[in-house]
């Protein structure tokens, strides 16, 4: 193993160990090892190569069968440009490619570990760009994020993709159908990829807008599950914001280098259009985040109002029930008094006071009436009746 490869491998392995310790069940995007193979024998770099082509004056002139031949023909044919696309390469595969093109070890480490924030860095004559692509999945109403690392040299473009998005095959087809643009070199390819990533944000913005509209309907409809959906959508918007906001700095950095690196005038206009679209997407994402924060506050207010109404309704029902109980208790007490008197005089004893009194019966009725009237007046004054 060469000294360069040994130096590049050590920090990459340290970063991988840190990631694996933190995420022991990490997905392939993090471990960067989606393919199997013989133990102790790394798979060849060609297994991760999606497309490899040589271009001259905007025309595809060769499509070497493997990476070694691509590099050899690039050296043997001055004035040509190589465009190589890799999909989820392993550590050993990417180090092999990096050694062929002399890529900086720090950029290679980032590409190996993946999960980087969007950024633009320059290592000598090589640009290193990280982009976060996104696509909206209608079936699950979720946003799927991808990551692409782009190495742009004087006569080559190397893309390392970690996810389904963006569709670089469509970008390659578009560029090959526009020789005038492809003739401008590796920077034209970089700007085309930027444009594809930014254009991919439009359907995501539309999908998120639909989700927010649905959430607003659910909030006012009183759906109890809407709080969870607001939270999940807020997380997607935050993730989307992390992808779009740094993109503006990347475009600003490229714009700042126009004069220094002699960027073609056509590419300047092209990049300006990409920057306009990226700014629009970033502004919409900021609006979505604020809207979701307002919706969450509104939903909490509506839930609180609903709970207050329920408490008020329960309190009113309890009050009504208490009033009914008071009335029932008052009438029970009124009816209980004559029952006691009647029970006493209904006993079968010979020696009961006033048992043979002529006015005993009217007196008993009068006593019952007086007691009932007294209790009625008393309960009436206390609003029990």
Confidence of residue 149 (pLDDT cuts 50, 70, 90): very high
**Overall average pLDDT of the 113-121 stretch:** 84
> 17 vs 110, which has greater pLDDT?
110
- Please spell the DSSP secondary structure of 9-27, one letter per residue: HHHHHHHHHHHHHH-TT--
The winner for highest mean pLDDT among 189-198, 258-267, 299-308, 359-368 is 189-198
Confidence of residue 38 (pLDDT cuts 50, 70, 90): very low
Strand partners of residue 204? none
Confidence of residue 353 (pLDDT cuts 50, 70, 90): low
At 364 the pLDDT is 76
The residue ranges of DSSP E strands in the chain, in sequence order, are 49-56, 59-62, 81-87, 119-123, 126-137, 142-152, 156-162
The winner for highest mean pLDDT among 69-78, 284-293, 299-308 is 284-293
**Overall average pLDDT of the 245-267 stretch:** 78
3-class SS shares of the chain: helix, strand, coil, % to 5: 65, 15, 25
**Overall average pLDDT of the 150-178 stretch:** 86
At 261 the pLDDT is 65
**Overall average pLDDT of the 227-247 stretch:** 87
Residue 8 pLDDT > 60, yes or no?
A: no
At 167 the pLDDT is 80
For residues 88 and 31, the answer to whether their CB atoms sit within 8 Å is: no
At 318 the pLDDT is 80
Dist. CA 281–CA 137, nearest whole Å: 18
Residue 31 pLDDT > 90, yes or no?
A: no
Residue 151 pLDDT > 90, yes or no?
A: yes
- Going from the C-alpha of 137 to that of each of 144, 203, 282, 364, the distances in angstroms are 7, 10, 20, 88
Distance in angstroms between the alpha carbons of the first and the last residue of the chain: 100
Quick one: what percent of the chain has pLDDT higher than 90? 6
Per-residue burial over 317-349, b if 16 or more Cβ lie within 10 Å, else e, is eeeeeeeeeeeeebeebbeebbeeeeeeeeeee
Pairing of strands 49-56, 126-137: unpaired
Q: Tell me the pLDDT tens digit for each residue of 81-111.
A: 889 888 888 788 788 888 888 888 888 888 8
**Overall average pLDDT of the 263-277 stretch:** 83
**Domains recognised in the chain with CATH numbers:** 1-173 (3.30.460.20), 321-381 (1.20.58.340)
At 193 the pLDDT is 92
At 352 the pLDDT is 67
């Amino acid at each position: 193993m060469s000294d360069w490869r040994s130096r590049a491998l050590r920090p990459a392995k340290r970063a991988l160990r840190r990631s694996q310790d933190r995420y022991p069940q990490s997905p392939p995007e993090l471990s960067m090892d989606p393919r199997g193979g013989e133990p102790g024998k790394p798979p060849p770099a060609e297994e991760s190569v999606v497309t490899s082509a040589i271009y001259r004056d905007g025309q595809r002139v060769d499509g070497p069968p493997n990476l070694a031949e691509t590099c050899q023909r690039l050296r043997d044919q001055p004035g040509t440009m190589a465009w190589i696309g890799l999909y989820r390469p392993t550590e050993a595969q990417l180090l092999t490619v990096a050694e062929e093109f002399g890529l900086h070890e720090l950029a290679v480490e980032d590409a190996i570990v993946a999960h980087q924030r969007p950024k633009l860095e320059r290592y000598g004559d090589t640009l290193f760009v990280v982009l976060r692509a996104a696509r909206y999945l209608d079936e699950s109403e979720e946003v799927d994020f991808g990551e692409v690392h782009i190495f742009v040299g004087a006569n080559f473009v190397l893309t390392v993709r970690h996810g389904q998005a963006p569709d670089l095959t469509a970008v390659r087809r578009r560029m090959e159908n526009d020789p005038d643009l492809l003739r401008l070199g590796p920077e034209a390819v970089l700007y085309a990829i930027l444009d594809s990533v930014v254009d991919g944000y439009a359907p995501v913005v539309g999908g998120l807008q639909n989700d927010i509209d649905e959430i607003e309907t659910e909030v006012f409809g009183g759906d109890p599950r809407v709080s969870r959906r607001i939270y999940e959508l807020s997380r997607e918007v935050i993730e989307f914001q992390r992808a779009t906001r740094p993109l503006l700095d990347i475009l600003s950095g490229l714009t700042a280098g126009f004069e220094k690196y002699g960027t073609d005038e056509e590419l300047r206009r092209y990049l300006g259009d990409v920057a306009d679209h990226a700014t629009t997407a970033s502004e919409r994402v900021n609006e979505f985040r604020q809207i979701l924060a307002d919706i969450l506050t509104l939903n909490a207010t509506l839930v609180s109002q609903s709970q207050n109404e329920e408490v008020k309704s329960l309190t009113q029902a309890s009050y009504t029930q208490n009033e009914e109980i008071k009335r029932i208790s008052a009438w029970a007490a009124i009816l209980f008094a004559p029952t006691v008197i009647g029970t006493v005089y209904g006993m079968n004893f010979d020696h009961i006071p006033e048992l043979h009194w002529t006015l005993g019966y009217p007196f008993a009725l009068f006593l019952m009436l007086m007691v009932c009237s007294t209790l009625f007046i008393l309960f009436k004054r206390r609003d029990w009746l």
